[in-house]
């Protein structure tokens, strides 16, 4: 799947190469063109977005190549200054010498040659309006613009993949629809960059390319150069440009050959959209991808121009100080970790001990709950005789008042309530009685005193409620002394023998239990028993069976008597409760 795009467009078409990185190289995954003949600048972005959306190539990191016609390119000769000062000097000279370069222009350069007295660079400037236009084209596809590179330098970056000697001169020719890029390479370094417009007529086109190539060679000619060390490479399919190569060889005396740019990179045997017809036009895009792999080396990049190196800092000293500080922090951390480890071990021991007490705590919680229930139950156990005595002691004289009704009720939540209804001669007697009854253990409330004209002696009625709080009952119970038995239990004598086993008494017959004075009944019973005795003598086994049955009935009788006595005891306990 594609991870990166390289895009270029002119007035006729948009060229796109999709690739994915593989180590320090890249693999081409798709190549296609989009026809934009006659389209306005605002519609280019929409057509590009449609083509990318159809192939699922939106929102990818994108590298853009621009032609020589959009940027201003010049070759500058500067004094022999250090490389770290070149970015500032080049920008200063470009602002002075370039017509369109201003303070806001993006300026980058590419070193060409260096001697003891001078430095030659190829400097280019791109106006901010062109950068904004490129961003608008990429916006509909949400492309992540990473580089804007001058197209001739991208083609020169692809040339680095050819196995060529470091000496000699090579002229790279990239033929486009209406212009031609000419790059003169001295060894592996670009020495001259040029783009020229060409006519549409084929013969005039060929003559223009040959003449412009000759002028480029003359511009870079140096003393002592040997034409036998020169070659011309035309980017494209060897089956094309046959006539161009022939005229270049004949008129310039330099051997010209064609190189398929896709033969220099890893490309699958079959592409989704097939191989385009004019493969030479994709050489700058392949070189752009190669230059990006090399971190922009050999490219004029307007988005990432060369900048002065960062000033040297005392990094080693700071690193030493940082190492000492880190060692100190590690020491402090180790001490803290040791302390925390000891505390953690102590915590684990405490946790184990706490877990061992969980059962005891659970049992204590149950005991606490049971004790609370017992306390609540005992809070309702009010000593009513004492309360009645307290009531009797604090009532007024009998000639002043009389109690007609007394109601005592225990509160399930503890404490008790006494409701009294009575009559009095004067209201003052009722007020005095309430004052006498009211204390910390008794809360007295009343409905007031009402007159009763029907009673001539006791003319006033009153209804009072005396509340005995549960807290008061509990305090009195806890304050009461607890009787303890300090006597030691007596030890049982050692020579106590077990009582002898009881012998079963023979079963009594009805004749033995018959009361005196019933002679007739005795004779009748005796007569009836005689045949039974005969039968018992005749069948001893049957007699033993009947004896066993009688013993079983006696046992059942004893059990029933025992149950009856236990039932009586339980009833008596309930009554006492």
Output 432 or 503, whichever has higher pLDDT: 432
Does pTM top 0.85 for this prediction? no
User: In whole angstroms, what separates CA 481 from the centre of its chain?
Assistant: 64
- pLDDT, one tens digit per residue, over 392-445 is 888 878 888 889 899 988 887 788 888 999 999 888 888 888 888 888 888 899
* Per-residue tokens: 367: 């005991």
- pLDDT, one tens digit per residue, over 43-62 is 899 999 999 999 999 999 99
Q: How many CB atoms lie within 10 A of CB 260?
A: 17
pLDDT recorded at residue 357: 87
Residue position matching structure tokens 């006597």: 487
> Phi, psi at residue 504, to the nearest 5°?
-75, 130
Domains of the chain: 4-293 (3.30.420.380), 380-479 (3.30.1360.100)
pLDDT recorded at residue 354: 87
Compute and round to an integer the Cα radius of gyration of the chain: 61
Low-confidence winner among 115-129, 172-186, 398-412, 558-572 (lowest mean pLDDT): 558-572
pLDDT recorded at residue 233: 93
State the average pLDDT for the chain: 80
Query: Is residue 209 scored above 90 in pLDDT?
Result: yes
Q: Considering all CA atoms of the chain, what is the largest pairwise distance in Å, rounded to the nearest integer?
A: 177
What is the average pLDDT across 364-390?
84
* Per-residue tokens: 106: 């993006």
Name the percent of the chain lying above pLDDT 70. Answer: 81
pLDDT recorded at residue 75: 87
Dist CA 162 CA 322 (whole Å): 47
Query: Is residue 555 scored above 60 in pLDDT?
Result: no
- pLDDT, one tens digit per residue, over 254-292 is 999 999 999 999 998 888 888 888 899 999 999 999 999
What is the average pLDDT across 61-73?
90
Strand 169-175 to 179-186 pairing: antiparallel
pLDDT recorded at residue 489: 54
Dist CA 432 CA 426 (whole Å): 10
- pLDDT, one tens digit per residue, over 1-34 is 678 999 999 888 999 999 998 888 899 999 999 9
Dist CA 105 CA 179 (whole Å): 25
Output 574 or 320, whichever has higher pLDDT: 320
Dist CA 552 CA 290 (whole Å): 115
pLDDT recorded at residue 558: 44
- pLDDT, one tens digit per residue, over 504-520 is 444 443 334 333 333 43
Query: Is residue 502 scored above 60 in pLDDT?
Result: no
Question: Do the beta carbons of residue 86 and residue 169 sit within 8 Å?
Answer: no
3-state SS string for 163-205:
CCCCCCEEEEEEECCCEEEEEEEECCEEEEEEEEECCCCHHHH
Output 560 or 444, whichever has higher pLDDT: 444
Low-confidence winner among 44-53, 159-168, 368-377, 493-502 (lowest mean pLDDT): 493-502
> Residue 490: pLDDT band by 50, 70, 90 thresholds?
low
pLDDT recorded at residue 540: 38
> Residue 485: pLDDT band by 50, 70, 90 thresholds?
low
């Amino acid at each position: 799947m594609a991870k990166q795009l390289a895009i270029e467009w002119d007035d006729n078409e948009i060229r796109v190469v999709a690739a994915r990185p593989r180590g320090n190289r890249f693999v081409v995954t798709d190549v296609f063109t989009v026809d934009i003949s006659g389209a306005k600048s605002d519609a280019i972005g929409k057509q590009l977005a449609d083509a990318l959306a159809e192939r699922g190539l939106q929102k990818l990191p994108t590298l853009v190549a621009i032609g020589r016609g959009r940027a201003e390119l010049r070759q500058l000769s500067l004094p022999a200054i250090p490389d770290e000062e070149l970015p500032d000097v080049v920008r200063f000279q470009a602002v002075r010498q370039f017509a369109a370069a201003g303070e806001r222009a993006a300026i980058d350069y590419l070193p060409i040659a260096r001697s003891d007295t001078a430095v030659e660079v190829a400097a280019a400037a791109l106006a901010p309006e062109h950068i904004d236009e490129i961003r608008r084209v990429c916006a509909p596809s949400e492309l992540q613009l990473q580089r804007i590179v001058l197209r001739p330098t991208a083609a020169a970056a692809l040339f680095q993949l050819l196995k060529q000697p470091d000496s000699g001169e090579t002229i790279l020719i990239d033929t486009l629809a209406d212009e031609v890029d000419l790059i003169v390479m001295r060894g592996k370094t670009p020495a001259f960059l040029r783009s020229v417009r060409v006519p549409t007529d084929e013969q005039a086109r060929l003559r223009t390319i040959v003449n412009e190539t000759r002028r480029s060679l003359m511009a870079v000619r140096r003393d002592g150069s040997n034409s036998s060390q020169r070659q011309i490479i035309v980017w494209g399919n060897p089956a094309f440009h046959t006539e161009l190569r022939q005229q270049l060889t004949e008129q310039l005396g330099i051997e010209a050959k064609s190189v398929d740019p896709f033969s220099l990179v890893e490309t699958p045997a079959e592409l989704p959209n097939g191989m385009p017809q004019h493969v030479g036009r994709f050489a700058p895009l392949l070189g752009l991808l190669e230059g990006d792999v090399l971190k922009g080396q050999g490219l004029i990049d307007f988005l990432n121009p060369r900048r002065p190196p960062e000033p040297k800092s005392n990094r080693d000293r700071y690193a030493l100080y940082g190492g000492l500080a880190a060692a100190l922090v590690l020491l402090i951390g180790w001490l803290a970790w040791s302390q925390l480890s000891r505390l953690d071990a102590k915590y684990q021991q405490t946790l184990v001990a706490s877990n061992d007490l969980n059962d005891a705590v659970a049992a204590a919680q149950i005991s606490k709950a049971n004790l609370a229930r017992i306390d609540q139950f005992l809070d309702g156990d009010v000593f009513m005789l004492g309360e009645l005595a307290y009531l009797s002691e604090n009532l007024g004289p009998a000639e002043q008042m009389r109690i007609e009704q007394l109601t005592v009720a225990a509160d399930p939540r503890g404490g008790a309530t006494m409701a009294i209804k009575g009559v009095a001669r004067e209201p003052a007697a009722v007020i005095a009685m309430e004052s006498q009854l009211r204390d910390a253990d008794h809360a007295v409330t009343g409905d007031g005193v009402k007159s009763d004209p029907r009673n001539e002696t006791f003319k006033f009625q009153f209804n009072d409620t005396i509340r005995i709080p549960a807290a008061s009952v509990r305090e009195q119970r806890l304050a009461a002394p607890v009787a303890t038995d300090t006597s030691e239990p007596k030890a049982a004598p050692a020579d106590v023998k077990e009582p002898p086993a009881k012998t079963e008494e023979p079963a009594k017959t009805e004749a033995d239990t018959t009361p005196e004075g019933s002679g007739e009944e005795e004779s009748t019973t005796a007569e009836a028993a005689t045949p039974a005795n005969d039968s018992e003598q005749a069948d001893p086994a049957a007699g033993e069976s009947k004896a066993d049955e009688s013993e079983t009935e006696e046992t059942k009788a004893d059990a029933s008597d025992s149950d009856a006595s236990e039932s009586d005891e339980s009833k008596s306990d309930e009554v006492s409760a």
